Amino acid sequence: MSLQIPRPIDPSLHPLTTGNYRIATPAIQAFYELVVRCLHYRIMGALIYGPSRIGKTRAIEYVRLLLARNYPKMTSYHAQCKHKPRHAEGPFLANLLEAVGDPDPNAGSNPSKRLRLSLRIREAAARAGSGTVLLFCDEAQRYNENEYEWLRDVHDALDRQQIKLFTFLVGQQELLAQKTSLQIAGKTQIVARLMVEELSFYGIRNAEDVATCLNGYDQTAYPEGSEWSFTRFYIHRPSMPGIGWSATPTYSGMHSRPRTTGPTCRADLKFRWNRSREWSRSF
Amino acid sequence: MGANPIEAYVQTKLEQAKETRKAATELAHAVKLLASAPTVRTPVGPARPVETTVASSPAIEAVPSTPKVTAVELAPRAPVQPKKLSIGTGQVF
C-alpha cells in the first residue's frame, strides 16, 4: 500500500482492519431468500443447519443488517443459545431477555421474566412501527424439547398481543435430526410452529463461490458510496506484471490467474497486501 | 501401483520381521508412526501431467539416451466469473 496516495480515511479505521464488515456469499443469499419467503408466506419458523465453522453466525449478522436496510420497520434479535448442563426455564428466558436487550436479564422469577420478555419485544415492535419480529436462535441444536415448548409459549403470548414472531433456528446438522425425532414423536405443535421450512447451509463449494466472495471485496466500498472499494484501498494500482489488471485492480482478478490459490479471509488479504508492497518497492 | 505403498511397506517388513531383527525394529517404528498419524485421508492433489515414455529404437541403442518424457501441460483454466448476488456484495457496520 503506497502511503503517498491520499485515502479517504485512516487505514486503521478501515473495516478490513476493524473487522466491522461482512461479505456476501451465495449461501447467505439462500438464507436471506428463505427469511423473505417465510415473511411473505407467514411461515412462522424455519431451521437452518450446517457444519460448524462455515459462517452461519456471520450469515445471521449479514441477514440482520440487510433486513434492517430493506425492512426498517421490522425488529430482529440474535439469541446465542448457551450450553447448559441442565435445562431450566429461568436461564432460557434470561438468555432471550439478554438478546432483546434487557438490562438485567437474570432478575426476577420465571413468570416475571416471561412478562418482561413480552414487554420488551412489544415495546421494540411499537417503536419500529410494525408487529413483525424476527428471532434468530444461534446454536439452536442445544435446545431440548422443553425449550422448544417455552419458545412456543413466547410465540403464543406475543400472538395474543398481535405481534408475529418469526423464529429461525440456526445450528448444526443435529437440528435436522431433532426435527425428525420430534416428527416421529408426534410433537407437531413444535414442528409446525418452529421448524416448517429448512435450509442446508453451506460454505464455499467451488471456484465460482470463491470468485463471488472475492468480488465482494472488489465491489464493496468504504466510505459507502465512494469509489474506494476494499481492494482499491489496499492495492491501489497493479504492481506485478502479468496479472492483466485494468485501470482498477480487482481482488477476484488476482484469483483468476492460473495456479493462484483462493484467499478467503482477511489475513490472506493482508498477506497479499504485504507482497504487493514489496513488489511496489522492487519496481 | 494400485496398492497403498505404506501398507505394502508394512506388509514387507512384517514378513521380514520373522527373519531379521532390523526389519522387526523398522516395523515397530512404522507401526508407532502410523498409530499417531491422522486417520482422515488427505485429498489427492490435482491431476498430474501425463508422462509418455517413447521407447528408443534398437538402431540408435548405441547412443546413450535417456527416455524421452513429454509432460502434457495442464490446460489453462478459464477465468471463473463471480455470481451476481441479489443481496449486494457486502455490509459495513
Last residue of a domain, one of A183, A200, A217: A200
Do both A140 and A55 map to the same domain? yes
Q: What is the predicted pLDDT for the residue at B35? A: 80
pLDDT at A262 over 60: no
Do both A108 and A132 map to the same domain? yes
B50 vs A141 pLDDT, higher one: A141
Do both A137 and A260 map to the same domain? no
- In order, the DSSP letters of A167-230 are EEEEE-THHHHHHHHHHHTT-HHHHHHH-SEEEE-----SHHHHHHHHHHHHH-BSSTTSS-BH
Q: Judge whether A251 lies within some domain.
A: yes
- In order, the DSSP letters of B57-89 are PGGGTTS--PPEEEEPPPPPPPPPPPPPPTT-S
Q: What is the predicted pLDDT for the residue at A220? A: 94
Query: Mean pLDDT over all residues of chain A?
Result: 86
CATH number, domain with residue A69? 3.40.50.300
**Chain A residues near residue B77 by CB distance under 8 angstroms:** 258
Planar angle of CA B41, B45, B49, nearest 5 degrees? 145
Do both A31 and A62 map to the same domain? yes
The rounded distance, in Å, linking the Cα atoms of A102 and A117 is: 8
CA distances from A275 to A190, A213, A278 (A): 54, 21, 5
- The model's confidence at residue A277, banded by pLDDT at 50, 70 and 90, is very low
Q: Judge whether A14 lies within some domain.
A: no
pLDDT at A263 over 50: no
Of B76, B79, B89, the CB nearest to A220: B89
Share of chain A above pLDDT 90, in %: 74
- The ranges assigned to domains in chain B are 5-36
How near does any CA of chain B get to the CA of A275, in Å?
23
* Sign of the torsion formed by the C-alpha atoms of A203, A209, A211 and A212: negative
Bridge partners, residue A167, by sequence: A45, A135
Do both A177 and A238 map to the same domain? no
Q: What is the predicted pLDDT for the residue at B31? A: 87
Q: Judge whether A64 lies within some domain.
A: yes
Q: Which three cell numbers stand for residue B59?
A: 538402431
pLDDT at B63 over 60: no
Tens of pLDDT, residue by residue over A241-256, are: 434 333 455 665 555 5
Question: In Å, how far from its chain's centre is CA A203?
Answer: 13
- Per the CB < 8 Å rule, is A26 touching B76? no
The rounded distance, in Å, linking the Cα atoms of A262 and A276 is: 16
How near does any CA of chain A get to the CA of B84, in Å?
7
Nearest Cα residue to B81 out of A208, A25, A180, A280: A208
pLDDT at A181 over 70: yes
How confident is the model over A17-41, as a mean pLDDT? Answer: 96
Q: Judge whether A17 lies within some domain.
A: no
Ramachandran category for residue B15: left, alpha or beta (phi over 0 → left; psi -120 to 50 → alpha): alpha
Domain that holds residue A176: 26-200
Q: Judge whether A108 lies within some domain.
A: yes
How confident is the model over A38-63, as a mean pLDDT? Answer: 96
Of B76, B83, B89, the CB nearest to A258: B76
- The model's confidence at residue A240, banded by pLDDT at 50, 70 and 90, is very low
**Chain A residues near residue B85 by CB distance under 8 angstroms:** 24-26, 29, 212
How confident is the model over A92-107, as a mean pLDDT? Answer: 96
